[in-house]
Structure formats: structure tokens, C-alpha cells
């Protein structure tokens, strides 16, 4: 079953190789310019139809965009679930899909989204081998101590030594200035690395887009246009919107890790869990959140700590 899922993505990943192999037929009349992604896809399918053996064709069809949509749906289901082992099982398939996405026409913007989710998958695999995170008891005062963030140490190890994205030199001064303008700690601008690996065009199958992966409804509620132009791809405007949203969430929850959780999972879900568990700490609800949010919060905190040197317990409050 695993191989049947992986093979289509591997086939897509081999399209450039197939195109290069077919170039001998074009030597007498070489093309004036490199083929577009659509032309490359059509060439790959033509080569598959022409040269694949009947046995291979019987095993699977040439991969289509529908295969990506089906895979993305299954992966999102695992991300929304609560079993880290189930999410970890997608590692091999996700790696193959990521390679394929770099080639699949019209799906290039999904690559950074999947790369970030592969990061969660790898961390879930490591986390599943650790002792279960122990929830804290009720807290009388909100806090953001490092010990309150399950899997923070795991993510700190993953982020240390990881190269800074190439777009950081250009984008981070803009993002930090936008967060400062909204009176939010500028270190929080590094959330963009966790959300999109600092790719303004990144988009998710669910419809989130931009550096801060804002959903259309959320973006519009923050004053951004999502159609001609889609301002979620504008670095400064999307950063100011994300900072406003994070400020609002901190005002509601009084704690940055909880604000990050609400940014990812929705404030309604976070509030219901806090009330059900009678706690004010992220650790008290972590085990009841989705796999994605359980990995997202410590990743954000570790990313901020490694990139800015400010640990979660030292993050300042929004300025009035």
C-alpha cells in the first residue's frame, strides 16, 4: 500500500530526468527556450504512455493533480488527529510528494507548506518515542515558562544549526518593523519561518496563504484584501495583520504559547479546552490539541529562541 502511494509522486519527480532523456530526439531542432512546467508535464505523460511496460501501467496510472489532492486530504486528517504515531507514518510518502511538488505544474506554491508539515512529521516521529508529556495542574496565574511547553527541547534541538532561510535578509527587517509598529514584540515576526519558511507565495490546500498563512476569512477580518490583489502575499501588510491578530489573542489569553495555539487551532477550541481542563497553561491542554498544534507551538517558540535569542519566558508583553 505504501509503495502504491509513493510511486505516483516518484514518477512526477522523475519528469525532468525523463525530459532530459528525451532531449536526444530534439538535437536536430533544439527548442528556443526551456520547456514550461505544463510542457514538461505533458512530455512526461507522453513518455510514460509510450515507454512504460504493461506491467507498470497495470500497477498505477500516470500521476495527476487529483493524486496530490487525495494525499493532502489524508495528511491533513493526520495533522488534525491526536495520534503522533499516525502522523509519523506519513514520513516516506511526504518526502516523495515534496520532491514531486517541485515539478507538478501549478502546485509549486504548495511545496513550502508541505516542507513545514514534513518538519512536523519528523518531529512527531521523534516525539512518539519520548515519554508522554505530563500536563500541569491548575494555575492561578498565566505564565509562559519554558517548562510549560511540551516538546520545546525537541524543537530547540531541531532548530539549532538549521540554516536561516535565504529570504530572511530581505524580509525580516520589514516584518520586524511591522510588528514593532503594532506594538508587538518584533521577535514574534519569526513566526513567518514556522508558517511558510518565509515564502510570501506559500499556500495550503485549505486556503491559507502568505508568509503568515492567514485564512481568507481571518485575513478579511483584519482588513486585508484576498482578491486582486491578495494582500496576504504583501510582506508589510500581512505582517501588520498577523501582529494585530497575535496582539488580540494575547489580550484574550494572557500568554504567548496560548496565543500561538489559538493562532493555529482557533481561539474557540483553545478556550473550550482551558475551561474543560481548569488550567491557564498550554501544557494543560497540549495533549488534547491536534498533532499539528502540539508541534506548532513548541516549533514557534524554539524558532523565536534560536533566531532572536529570546526564550518564551522572556518574551515581552504587547505595549499599550
Task: Give the pLDDT mean for 33-53.
Answer: 58
Count Cα neighbours of 254 within 13 Å in the Cβ-side half-sphere: 10
Structural contact between residues 123 and 299, judged by C-beta atoms closer than 8 angstroms: yes
- How high is the pLDDT of residue 145? 53
The confidence score (pLDDT) of residue 19 equals 43
Instruction: Read off the pTM.
Output: 0.79
Mean pLDDT of 256-280: 96
Q: Which residues have a Cβ under 8 Å from the Cβ of 149 and sit 6 or more positions away?
A: 257, 282, 283, 297, 298, 301, 312
Task: Name the residue with higher pLDDT: 216 or 54.
Answer: 216
| Number of neighbouring beta carbons within 10 Å of residue 206 | 13
Residue 187: helix, strand or coil by DSSP?
helix
Label residue 222 by pLDDT band (50, 70, 90).
Answer: very high
Q: To the nearest whole number, what is the mean pLDDT of the chain?
A: 82
Give the pLDDT score at 25.
Answer: 45
Q: What is the share, in percent, of the chain residues with pLDDT greater than 90?
A: 57
Residue 144 has pLDDT above 70, yes or no: no
- 112 prior amide bond cis, ω within 30: no
Confidence of residue 141 (pLDDT cuts 50, 70, 90): very low
Mean pLDDT for 156-173 is: 95
- Judged against a pLDDT cut of 60, whether residue 196 lies above it is answered with yes
Domain ranges of the chain: 2-127, 146-314
C-alpha cell at 80: 488534525
Q: Categorize the per-residue pLDDT at 161 as very low, low, confident or very high, splitting at 50, 70 and 90.
A: confident
- Catalytic positions are 195
Instruction: Decide which of 250 and 111 is more confident.
Output: 250
C-alpha cell at 301: 517558540
CATH 3.40.50.1390 is held by the domain 146-314: no
Question: Would you state the pLDDT for residue 112?
Answer: 79
Average pLDDT over residues 176-202: 95
272 has a pLDDT exceeding 80:
yes
Question: Mean pLDDT over residues 252-276, rounded?
Answer: 96
pLDDT at site 18: 44
- Of 12-26, 49-63, 137-151, least confident by mean pLDDT is 12-26
DSSP state of 23: G
pLDDT, position 45: 61
Helix axes 15-22, 2-13, angle to 10 degrees: 50
Is residue 24 predicted with pLDDT exceeding 60?
no
Please provide the DSSP assignment of 52-73 as one string.
Answer: S-HHHHHH-PPP-HHHHHHHHH
Lowest pLDDT segment from 18-32, 119-133, 159-173, 232-246: 18-32
Share of the chain above pLDDT 70, in %: 73
Which pLDDT value is given to residue 61?
A: 55
- Widest CA span of the chain, in angstroms? 78
Least confident of 17-26, 166-175, 254-263: 17-26
Highest-scoring range by mean pLDDT, 58-67, 91-100, 299-308: 299-308
Write down the residue that cell numbers 493562532 correspond to: 263
pLDDT of residue 17: 44
Q: What is the pLDDT of residue 239?
A: 97
- pLDDT at residue 100, as a whole number: 76
Amino acid at each position: 500500500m505504501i509503495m502504491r502511494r509513493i510511486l505516483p509522486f516518484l514518477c512526477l519527480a522523475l519528469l525532468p530526468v525523463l525530459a532530459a532523456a528525451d532531449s536526444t530526439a530534439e538535437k536536430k531542432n533544439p527548442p528556443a527556450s526551456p520547456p514550461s512546467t505544463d510542457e514538461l508535464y505533458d512530455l512526461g505523460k507522453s513518455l510514460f504512455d509510450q515507454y512504460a511496460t504493461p506491467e507498470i501501467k497495470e500497477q498505477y496510472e500516470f500521476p495527476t493533480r487529483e493524486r496530490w489532492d487525495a494525499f493532502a486530504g489524508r495528511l491533513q486528517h493526520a495533522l488534525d488527529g491526536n495520534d503522533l504515531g499516525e502522523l509519523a507514518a506519513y514520513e516516506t510518502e511526504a518526502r516523495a510528494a515534496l520532491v514531486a511538488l517541485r515539478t507538478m505544474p501549478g502546485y509549486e506554491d504548495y511545496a513550502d507548506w508541505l516542507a513545514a508539515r514534513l518538519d512536523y512529521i519528523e518531529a512527531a516521529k521523534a516525539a512518539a518515542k519520548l515519554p508522554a508529556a505530563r500536563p500541569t495542574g491548575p494555575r492561578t496565574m498565566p505564565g509562559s515558562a519554558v517548562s510549560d511547553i511540551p516538546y520545546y527541547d525537541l524543537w530547540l534541538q531541531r532548530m539549532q544549526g538549521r540554516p536561516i532561510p535565504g529570504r530572511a535578509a530581505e524580509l525580516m527587517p520589514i516584518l520586524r518593523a511591522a510588528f514593532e509598529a503594532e506594538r508587538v514584540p518584533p521577535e514574534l515576526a519569526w513566526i513567518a519561518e514556522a508558517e511558510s519558511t518565509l515564502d510570501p507565495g506559500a499556500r495550503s490546500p485549505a486556503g491559507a496563504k502568505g508568509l503568515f498563512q492567514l485564512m481568507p476569512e481571518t485575513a478579511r477580518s483584519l482588513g486585508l484584501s484576498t482578491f486582486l490583489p491578495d494582500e496576504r502575499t504583501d510582506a508589510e501588510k500581512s505582517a501588520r495583520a498577523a501582529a494585530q491578530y497575535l496582539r488580540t489573542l494575547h489580550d484574550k489569553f494572557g500568554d504567548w504559547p496560548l496565543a500561538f495555539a489559538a493562532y493555529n487551532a482557533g481561539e474557540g477550541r483553545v478556550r473550550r479546552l482551558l475551561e474543560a481542563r481548569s488550567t491557564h497553561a498550554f501544557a494543560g491542554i497540549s495533549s488534547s490539541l491536534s498533532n499539528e498544534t502540539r508541534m506548532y507551538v513548541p516549533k514557534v517558540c524554539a524558532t523565536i529562541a534560536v533566531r532572536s535569542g529570546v526564550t518564551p519566558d522572556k518574551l515581552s508583553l504587547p505595549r499599550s
